[in-house]
Amino acid sequence: MPPIPTSRFDFPVPERLIARTPATRRDASRLLVVDRASRRLEHRTFAELGEFLRPGDLLVRNNASVLPARLRALRPTGGQVECLLLQPLGGRERWRCLVRPGRKLAPGATFTAPGGEFSGRIEAREEDGTAEVTFTTAAGEPLTAVANRVGAVPLPPYIERAREAAGETGAGAFPDRERYQTVYAEPSRQVAAAAPTAGLHFTPELLARLAAAGVGTADVTLHVGLGTFQPIATENVEDHAIHREVYEIPVATQERLFPPLRGRRVAVGTTSVRTIEDFLSRHAAPLPQPCLAEAGIYLVPPREFRGVDALITNFHQPRSTLLCLVSAFLTPGSTAGIDWLREIYAEAIGREYRFFSYGDAMLIV
């Protein structure tokens, strides 16, 4: 099969359609329903999701919680530092981070929070631009506890730029801590550098209605990293080096991924798809213990899916690995989904759906 040019996943998104704030109510977002068998499109609202699900269907959700991981600090010279916590590395508060300004923060450089809540030391710089940082907190408490007090939500760049331009980075900013978080996020699972955004549309009331209609839920945890926002920079999609993300699957969820199935396995978001498909590529049966692994799977056309029968997802950025995944799911085992996805996105743009993390949703059945 010939390589797939990355340009096939490129398209213009009008600036006005980039959602920089969420819908007034979570389930008031629009929902574009795609029926793969009939190729029919329906334009609905997310609150109507239950009309397209059946008793026995299983929603597989990523319950990762977003840590307010963006920390601001000062160098000894007074220069400003922004440090984004990406992944704990073990030991005494050693983290993989993205720090700015990177050129001025070589190994050995230090910085301290304006209020003295923490200090950090750059231990090493990595080829991917990240840094290993050792932190010390003023009261010896966990860094995550400090981040929950003084950190900011790590919003995608297109949202952050708009907030800064509007002067909304202070205490009166939009309440992203609440809205850039799913209602079912587990506080004990603050492992995400970005929200699993397809789940942002659910409300407790909608989940209760679905449960009453016989739709089940099962949780996985994927430690969402910034790689989810990294565009494909190579000429062909196959040459892109996919990012890796840790995931956890409890035994109860593993068991529901295998026959006998009571209904369809409906993945809530591409992070859930990645978790399920990576797990099933390794295991032919449930494990006797929770699974802790690292997803390095790259889902591009043509691809067959072993554990996902339907997908809820948002509208993604051009040239992204998420578009590759969605196009593969539209027509499993074929590359025809690439052109069909372009047609679907053209329809969404024509009808002025809102795009990206705070945008509208799509259900593919």
Q: Determine the pLDDT at residue 219.
A: 98
Q: Determine the pLDDT at residue 87.
A: 87
Phi then psi dihedrals of residue 48, to 5 deg: -90, 10
Running along the chain, 365 residues long, what does each successive block of 10 average in pLDDT? 94 95 96 98 98 98 95 94 90 88 88 95 88 93 92 84 50 72 94 93 98 98 84 95 93 97 97 98 97 96 97 97 97 97 98 97 98
Residues forming a β-bridge with 314 = 361
Angle between helix 321-330 and 336-350 (nearest 10)? 110
Distance of CA 101 to the CA centre of its chain: 25
Q: Where are the alpha helices (DSSP H) in 175-311?
A: 176-179, 204-212, 251-256, 270-282
What residue ranges do the domains of the chain occupy? Answer: 6-66+178-364, 70-151
Distance of CA 61 to the CA centre of its chain: 11
Q: Determine the pLDDT at residue 249.
A: 98
Task: Tell me how far apart the alpha carbons of residues 335 and 39 are, in angstroms, rounded to a whole number.
Answer: 16
CATH number of 70-151: 2.40.10.240
Cβ–Cβ under 8 Å, residues 78 and 236: no
Q: Determine the pLDDT at residue 128.
A: 75
Superfamily for the 6-66+178-364 domain: QueA-like (3.40.1780.10)
